[in-house]
């Protein structure tokens, strides 16, 4: 009997060691995973610990965190993560460690990527991922914010997004099209309750810089207008000087003069990944200046200027403080809006379905009647 008891104790002790080993392995694996995810998670230890008044770490990084923009290379990530793990290994209480690691594990198991995790922890900053780096922008109190209630957005059975206030739908359904939608049956588009359409007027080539008209511009703008769909137009810029920005504006104004364009005239600003793109080396200040030049010319002609872009456009490429007076059209493909600043139109998917259009089309939701 005694021998059996001893054997049982050995088995239980061995079992506990096994459990501890598994637990330790899980924690180590989690820490290693965090190290490979992103540098932002380094400061999570500091932020979460400070909130709970348990620990305070990484004092030397605080000054750097005050900058408007901050980014790190993967080598820096690895080094800083390791330093933080070493510093917090003994300092961090089990309560804080368990809460933090538990949330990280929950998000990992849910399939959340690095960007989603960073945005969860850094609620006072806008996190933008680009070309393998992460940028952090403290939310600026001096910039206008949108006031849309997240609970007001609803997707219907056809995956069309609507917005409601006090139980009443106040949003407007729109699309934007170009030659990539081929020939469009605008009668069917109108029957599908599309209220407005942005037609691509043209582009400036990103290598040679030649201004080109979209192959389907005339067909699309006339088809939309003939079916009582309000129209706006957009132009993809690659201007590298104020003179070129003025040239683009003049081209747009001349091209739409004969049409009843009641919706905004939009400058499409997006990064081009091609290494030969002529506008890739522009500074934020230069690109902002050319954007203002274009918008002012459009306004002088009696149209409403608007700027189209994504998070990278508005956070990395442009200075929003100088563009407060111009309406924004945001491309952001997610179920919940992340951008805090004011915007008038949300392009919420590039894989929409609309009657009369074969294949995918961009879908947009606006929150007021934007007719000029």
- pLDDT tens digit string along 71-98? 666 677 667 667 766 665 555 555 656 7
Q: Is the pLDDT of residue 306 over 70?
A: yes
Cα–Cα distance measured from residue 108 to residue 114, given in angstroms and rounded to the nearest whole number? 9
Cα–Cα distance measured from residue 230 to residue 245, given in angstroms and rounded to the nearest whole number? 26
The string of pLDDT tens digits covering residues 279-294 is: 999 999 999 999 999 9
The CA–CA distances, whole Å, from 60 to 57, 63, 84 equal: 9, 7, 11
> What Rg do the C-alpha atoms of the chain give, in angstroms?
26
Instruction: Read off the pLDDT band of 12 (50, 70, 90).
Output: very low
3-class SS at 221? Answer: helix
pLDDT at 90: 56
Q: Is the pLDDT of residue 276 over 80?
A: yes
Query: Phi-psi bin for 141: left (phi > 0), alpha (psi -120 to 50), beta?
Result: alpha
pLDDT at 266: 98
| Arithmetic mean of pLDDT, 247-259 | 98
Q: Is the pLDDT of residue 54 over 70?
A: no
Instruction: Read off the pLDDT band of 34 (50, 70, 90).
Output: very low
- List of residues 6+ apart from 237 with CB closer than 8 A: 204, 245, 248, 267, 268, 269, 279, 290, 291, 294
Q: Is the pLDDT of residue 22 over 70?
A: no
With b meaning 16 or more CB within 10 Å and e meaning fewer, what string describes 96-121? bbeebeeebeebeeeeeebbebbbeb
pLDDT at 286: 98
Cα–Cα distance measured from residue 172 to residue 368, given in angstroms and rounded to the nearest whole number? 7
The string of pLDDT tens digits covering residues 222-239 is: 999 999 999 999 999 999
The CA–CA distances, whole Å, from 280 to 101, 208, 270, 283 equal: 40, 13, 10, 9
pLDDT at 254: 98
Poorest-pLDDT segment among 94-98, 129-133, 182-186, 197-201: 94-98
Spatial CA neighbour of 163 closest among 172, 155, 153 = 153
- Of the two residues 118 and 24, the one the predictor is more confident about is 118
Q: Is the pLDDT of residue 349 over 60?
A: yes
| Arithmetic mean of pLDDT, 27-34 | 42
| Arithmetic mean of pLDDT, 183-204 | 98
Q: Is the pLDDT of residue 189 over 50?
A: yes
Q: What's the length of the chain?
A: 372
pLDDT at 107: 87
| Mean pLDDT over the full length of the chain | 83
DSSP-assigned beta bridge partners for residue 168: 165
**What is the percent of the chain where pLDDT is above 90?**
66
Contact in structure between 265 and 256 (CB atoms under 8 Å): yes
Evaluate the CA torsion angle 159, 165, 169, 172 in order and state its sign: negative
Q: Is the pLDDT of residue 30 over 50?
A: no
- Of the two residues 215 and 71, the one the predictor is more confident about is 215
pLDDT at 357: 98
- Of the two residues 323 and 58, the one the predictor is more confident about is 323
Instruction: Read off the pLDDT band of 371 (50, 70, 90).
Output: very high
Q: What are phi and psi of 55, to 5 degrees?
A: -140, 165
Q: Is the pLDDT of residue 190 over 50?
A: yes
Cα–Cα distance measured from residue 9 to residue 303, given in angstroms and rounded to the nearest whole number? 84
Q: What are phi and psi of 358, to 5 degrees?
A: -85, 125
For the chain, where are the alpha helices, taking DSSP H only? 2-37, 40-51, 62-65, 74-91, 94-109, 114-121, 186-191, 217-226, 242-256, 284-300, 311-312
Contact in structure between 204 and 239 (CB atoms under 8 Å): yes
């Amino acid at each position: 009997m005694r021998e059996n008891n001893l054997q049982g104790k050995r088995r239980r002790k061995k079992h506990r060691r096994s459990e501890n080993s598994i637990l330790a392995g899980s924690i180590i694996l989690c820490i290693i995973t965090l190290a490979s995810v992103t540098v932002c998670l380094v400061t999570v230890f500091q932020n979460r610990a400070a909130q709970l008044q348990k620990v305070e770490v990484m004092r030397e990084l605080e000054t750097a965190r005050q900058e408007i923009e901050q980014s790190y290379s993967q080598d820096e990530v690895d080094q800083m993560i390791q330093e933080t793990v070493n510093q917090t290994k003994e300092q961090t209480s089990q309560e804080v460690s368990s809460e933090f690691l538990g949330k990280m594990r929950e998000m990992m198991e849910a399939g959340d990527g690095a960007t989603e995790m960073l945005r969860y922890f850094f609620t006072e900053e806008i996190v933008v991922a680009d070309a393998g780096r992460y940028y952090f922008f403290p939310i600026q109190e001096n910039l206008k914010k949108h006031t849309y209630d997240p609970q007001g957005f609803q997707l219907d059975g056809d995956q069309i997004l609507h917005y409601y206030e006090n139980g009443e739908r106040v949003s407007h359904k729109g699309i934007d099209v170009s030659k990539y939608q081929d020939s469009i049956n605008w009668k069917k588009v109108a029957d599908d309750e599309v209220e407005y359409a942005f037609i691509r007027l043209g582009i400036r080539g990103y290598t040679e810089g030649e201004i080109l008209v979209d192959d389907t511009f005339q067909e699309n703008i006339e088809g939309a207008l003939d079916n009582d769909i309000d129209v706006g137009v957009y132009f993809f810029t690659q201007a590298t000087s104020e003179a070129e920005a003025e040239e683009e504006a003049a081209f747009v104004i001349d091209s739409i003069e004969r049409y009843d364009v009641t919706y905004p005239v939009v400058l499409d600003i997006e990064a081009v990944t091609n290494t030969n793109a002529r506008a890739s080396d522009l500074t934020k200040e230069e690109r902002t200046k050319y954007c203002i030049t274009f918008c002012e010319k459009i306004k002088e002609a009696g149209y409403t200027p608007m700027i189209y872009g994504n998070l990278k456009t508005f956070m990395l490429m442009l200075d929003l403080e100088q563009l407060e007076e111009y309406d924004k059209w945001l491309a952001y493909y997610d179920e919940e809006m992340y951008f805090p600043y004011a915007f008038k139109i949300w392009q919420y998917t590039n894989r929409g379905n609309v009657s009369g259009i074969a294949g995918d089309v961009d879908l947009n939701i606006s929150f007021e009647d934007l007719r000029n």
